[in-house]
Amino acid sequence: MLDLLLVSGLSEHLFWDVNPQGVDAERHAVWLAKRVLEYGYWSDWQALVVYYGKARLAQIVVGIRSLNPRAFAFCQAWFQIPATDFRCSNTTPFP
């Protein structure tokens, strides 16, 4: 179940296809980070940073399989991580 502190800080539109009460902040961390990066507002991103911390969030985002170009560029700049360290830059969606 998604932590109430995190849920209160996230926009409702991020959960258009799921029940927010069924989202586990740890088990679904990659999904949640990707959703916020691609569809969220700045305030949603700030809520994730507060909840996970910058170091943990960096670990989460480098493991995301695919990101849109805008989100990918943002993560590189925000975390100061080279593009080659991201999973999404080293894998192809369809082999």
42-78: per-residue pLDDT in tens? 999 999 999 999 999 999 999 999 899 999 999 999 9
Instruction: Return the structure tokens found at 6.
Output: 């995190």
Instruction: Determine, yes or no, domain membership for 95.
Output: no
What would the mean pLDDT of 18-33 be, rounded to a whole number?
86
Q: How far is CA 83 from the centre of its chain?
A: 16
Q: How many domains does the chain have?
A: 1
pTM of the full predicted structure? 0.83
Instruction: Determine, yes or no, domain membership for 83.
Output: yes
Euclidean distance between CA atoms 82 and 92, whole angstroms: 18
pLDDT of residue 15: 86
What would the mean pLDDT of 7-35 be, rounded to a whole number?
85
In this structure, the number of other CB atoms found within 10 A of the CB of residue 28 comes to 15
Domain that holds residue 41: 4-90
Task: Of 24, 17, 14, 68, give the one whose Cα is nearest residue 44.
Answer: 14
Instruction: Determine, yes or no, domain membership for 19.
Output: yes
